[in-house]
Amino acid sequence: GESVGLHLPTLSVQEGDNSIINCAYSNSASDYFIWYKQESGKGPQFIIDIRSNMDKRQGQRVTVLLNKTVKHLSLQIAATQPGDSAVYFCAEKAAGNKLTFGGGTRVLVKP
Amino acid sequence: KAGVTQTPRYLIKTRGQQVTLSCSPISGHRSVSWYQQTPGQGLQFLFEYFSETQRNKGNFPGRFSGRQFSNSRSEMNVSTLELGDSALYLCASSLTAGVWNTEAFFGQGTRLTVV
């Protein structure tokens, strides 16, 4: 598959355990924060978003937490499955549809 | 419904040449954005088009340009190719251009290799 990033931080997690992926952002004026998942050979896929006036949002097996005080965003994946193996990016959205992406974290799920 | 279609999937060009990449957004989507993805720089925003108008532009040299047609299809062009332009070019399709519209749908990308 195509290499997304040769030196990405990697999170190894046992199948069934919970995963926590962290992200620091820079723009206090961002209106939304979004998590994307990118599998090998594919484009990024939307997972979940959170508006800047919220601190927590839950989806199916995923929870996003936003801490504006320290400009920190996290994605929690419950009961991690082999299909969750991918690179995860956080992104900030301000004006229009411009997304500013973080560097990415590679998640490896061990059976 | 059909997803975002990018053509071609793979391309090899020589330094100094120019290249045109194509993106067909999801039917009904009017916003198309382009991103460059490299191992060293990650995902970087190139530009965004909505209703045939460029609304946002990233920090790339003028060799990178784009346009959008009345049917929302978009093309990006890179002239005078350099080795450093080798990358995966991704197109993202969105329904509207409002900031509340957070779900962008990405194509599989065009892998450009400059030799």
pLDDT over threshold 70, residue A1: no
pLDDT recorded at residue B22: 98
Q: What is the pLDDT of residues B43-88, one digit of tens each?
A: 999 999 999 999 999 999 999 999 999 999 999 999 999 999 999 9
Q: How does DSSP classify residue B57?
A: E
Percent of chain A with pLDDT over 70: 95
Interchain contact B12–A (C-beta under 8 A): no
Task: Say if the Cβ atoms of A49 and B103 lie within 8 Å.
Answer: yes
Interchain contact B4–A (C-beta under 8 A): yes
Tokens of A66: 């936003």
| Rg, chain B, Cα only | 13
Q: How does DSSP classify residue A104?
A: -
- Reported confidence tier of residue B27, pLDDT bands at 50, 70, 90: very high
Gap from B32 CA to chain A (nearest CA, Å): 9
pLDDT over threshold 50, residue A106: yes
Tokens of A90: 């956080």
Q: What is the pLDDT of residues A35-89, one digit of tens each?
A: 999 999 999 999 999 999 999 999 999 999 999 999 999 999 999 999 999 999 9
pLDDT recorded at residue A94: 79
- Reported confidence tier of residue A4, pLDDT bands at 50, 70, 90: very low
Mean pLDDT of A88-111: 91
- Reported confidence tier of residue A5, pLDDT bands at 50, 70, 90: low
Gap from A36 CA to chain B (nearest CA, Å): 10
Task: Say if the Cβ atoms of A2 and B102 lie within 8 Å.
Answer: no
- Reported confidence tier of residue A95, pLDDT bands at 50, 70, 90: confident
pLDDT recorded at residue A26: 86
Mean pLDDT of A83-111: 92
pLDDT recorded at residue B1: 62
The Cα A11–Cα A21 span in angstroms is 8
pLDDT over threshold 70, residue B8: yes
- Reported confidence tier of residue A12, pLDDT bands at 50, 70, 90: very high
Tell me which chain B residues have a C-beta less than 8 angstroms from the C-beta of A103. 42
pLDDT recorded at residue A2: 41
pLDDT recorded at residue B51: 93
pLDDT over threshold 70, residue B30: yes
pLDDT, averaged across chain B: 94
Contact yes or no for B101/B95 (Cβ under 8 A):
yes
Rounded to 10 degrees, the C-alpha dihedral B93/B96/B97/B100 comes to: -110
Task: Say if the Cβ atoms of B99 and A31 lie within 8 Å.
Answer: yes
Put the strands of the sheet holding B64-68 in their side by side order.
B5-7, B19-24, B74-78, B64-68
